[in-house]
Chains A and B, each alone.
Chain A
Amino acid sequence: MVTDEENRAKGALKKAAKFGEDIDLDEYDEGSRELSTSGSFEDLSKDTQRTMLDTGIMPTAQGKSGNFLLMDNTVVHSATMGTGVELMPLSQAMKVHDWLKDYVWKAVQPDTDKYTAETYLEKADGYFIRALPGAKVQLPVQTCLLLKNRNTKQFVHNVLIAEEGSEFEVVTGCATSKGVEKGLHMGISEFFLKKDSKLTFTMIHNWSEFIGVRPRTIVQMDEGAAYINNYVALKPVKTIQMYPTANMNGKNGVCRFSSVAVAHPGSVMDLGSRAILNAPGCRAELISRTITTGGTVIARGQLIGNAPGIKAHLECKGLILNDKGVQIAIPELEARVPDVEMTHEAAVGKIAQDQVEYLMSRGLSEEEAVGMIVRGFLDVGIRGIPEHLKAEIDKTLQETDVRGM
């Protein structure tokens, strides 16, 4: 029997997304669902381990609550080590938890665009993570999404549930294996944060200059829930467009999106974050720090205030380090009731010369001064990042080529 949902998805197979270059899905081959699996992260090849490390994923079970790896369209590894949290492939979770059908495709609509439609119709697999009620999970869950083979389209469907009063942390690293010169990633993520739960979600993108990326993320938040989202993309990508959205449906919810991104020559990055404050007392903060060294970056942000007593701030700041680079900042505020406090701050431009010279007066060369200012600029966007990831990201930041002037 063909369901209504299926029909809608089929109808959306050619539907271009609202933003971003329209990608022809027929140009890509479906990623394999039958790659060989692995008993642990430690058993993976050294190459794969290195690729994972670059996205902040430690190739070890130690100190982690769970590990998950999807390569192309195969769940290569999935293991839960800690207590208080469940981690398994979504396909398996659907068999284990009958109630899961009340969550799957309930946050993201299958007919949103061609990417959601195809992911829906392909019955994509992905991770299912659930923090049990009241569980304070100390160690992070790691998930890694890898593009392994050339010309692959990877579709992923993730569902994450933070049960009432739970607290946990998830790190997602996304990367491409060396030599993969064409690929497409579509990732649907549906997060449900129950009453008084807290999730810190950090995503590090390390695709490559050949890869198209179309994540679709919706976060549903109940009363008192806290959602901290960190996004880091310092490496080249061909085209990425995403606009993760938090629906803050319960009162006194808190969410913070922090994003840092570098658009290298040839990269087109259309990055947004949105918070819809539907209940009294909700607070949201959206912060992005973007740099172009020759690519195009569009920093979108939207705050929608639908309830009284809410407070929200949006900040998009961009640096242009190269003549060919383009920075577009599009902050939007939408208030539908009078008693709201919503602000935004957007600024794009080059590095201030007086700052550069101030550092030079302390003996730094111009290049060192620019590097220090640029890294400081980005650092503001990643201050909320968990400590265990800081070292790796700092290292990447140090290595990031910010010469452009």
Chain B
Amino acid sequence: MLEIKNLTVEVGGKEILHDLSLSVKAGYTTVLFGPNGSGKSTLLMTIMGFSEYKVKNGSILLNGEDITHMPVNERAKRGIGMMMQRPPNLTGVRLKDLVRIAGKGEVDPAVLAEGLDMTRFLERDVNVGFSGGEIKRSEILQLEAQKPCLLLLDEPESGVDMVSIEKLGLKVHDILQGQSHCAGWREKSGKAALIITHTGQILDYVEGDRGYVMCDGTVACSGNPRELLAEIRKMGYNECIRCKLKRPNVVENL
């Protein structure tokens, strides 16, 4: 389980997240909504630990352990895995090799790739010349090898074609339901996910347990993700901003 308390984060000297608190329970699929620029991706990048995202205040606890200033790979070791929105190109690094290493040599990249229709990408350099949808599939392929216990998915469905979206959605479902190997995660509680989505399409494949709406770098409101989505579809984000004014301490209501 992940516990974020009063997190303030700067990127390039500019404060993006302000005093943000939320939690992801073990076994819970948590969904993040919010307008463009509200800080959703920043939150995920900060949880993963990318150094450009500087925590100025607050803390990130994973299973009770403070990981706020821990190196990225230590977080990965503790079971966090991320699908990035715009991962960097790795010229000269073949996808096949990265999948094998992410799976600690215990997976067969060819078998995993087949399930995502990614076989022809295995010999290619990671992300180089990949389309938006191909990047998503490549990221999921890597995550499937990595077997994380807390998945951070940044818009998993965006840019993915109608046929691939089903494969990808089911794969996310499988990863979430699959066996957990991470220390500190109780088997029975299962894995957890924090998923950014605008369209909610991913919710056709994984059941969302809890939803948060972010506005201006902090959590505005929380609730049932389907209800939140319906409300956003109907009213836009305005209703949520109002709800933030009414209920500033949403985390308390969990």
Give residues in A with beta carbon < 8 Å to B: 352-355, 357-366, 368-369, 372-373, 375-380
Contacts and interface: CB of A to CB of B under 8 A. Distances in A.
Contacts of B101: 362-364, 368, 372
27 contacts: A352-B88, A353-B51, A355-B88, A355-B90, A357-B49, A358-B84, A358-B90, A359-B98, A360-B76, A361-B48, A361-B50, A361-B72, A361-B76, A361-B81, A361-B82, A362-B76, A362-B146, A363-B73, A364-B73, A366-B73, A368-B101, A369-B73, A372-B97, A376-B91, A376-B92, A376-B93, A376-B94
B142 interface: yes
A363 B104 contact: yes
Contact of A357 (B51, B93, B142): B51
A354 B50 contact: yes
A359 B88 CA distance: 10
Contacts of B104: 363
B125 interface: yes
A377 B125 CA distance: 11
Given A354-B88, A363-B102, A372-B93, 10 more contacts: A354-B52, A362-B76, A362-B98, A363-B101, A363-B146, A364-B73, A364-B101, A366-B71, A366-B73, A368-B101
Chain B: number of interface residues, binned into ranges: 20 to 34
Contacts of B84: 358
Centre residue among A352, A358, A359, A365 by max chain B CB count within 10 A = A358
Give the 6 A-B residue pairs with the shortest CB-CB distance, closest first: A376-B92, A376-B93, A360-B72, A360-B73, A362-B102, A379-B92
B186 interface: no
Contacts of B75: 361
Contacts of A368: 101
B178 interface: no
A376 B51 contact: no
Contact of A360 (B71, B87, B97, B125): B71
The residue in A354, A361, A379 that gathers the most chain B C-beta atoms within 10 A of its C-beta is A361
A362 B142 contact: yes
Nearest to B102: A362
Contacts of A355: 88, 90
A373 to B, nearest CB: 7
A375 B91 CA distance: 10
B246 interface: no
Interface string B64-85: 0000000111011100011010
B90 A376 contact: yes
Contacts of A375: 92
A304 to B, nearest CB: 28
Contacts of A361: 48-50, 72-73, 75-76, 81-82
Q: Which of A363, A369, A376 gathers the greatest number of chain B CB atoms within 10 Å?
A: A363
A376 B102 contact: no
A376 B73 contact: no
Contacts of B81: 361-362
A376 B93 CA distance: 5
A357 B125 CA distance: 17
Contact of A363 (B50, B77, B87, B91): B77
Nearest to B77: A363
Given A353-B51, A354-B50, A357-B50, A365 B92 contact: no
B113 to A, nearest CB: 16
Nearest to B99: A362
A205 to B, nearest CB: 21
Contacts of B88: 352, 354-355, 358
A273 to B, nearest CB: 20
Contacts of A362: 76, 81, 98, 101-102, 142, 146
B92 A378 contact: yes
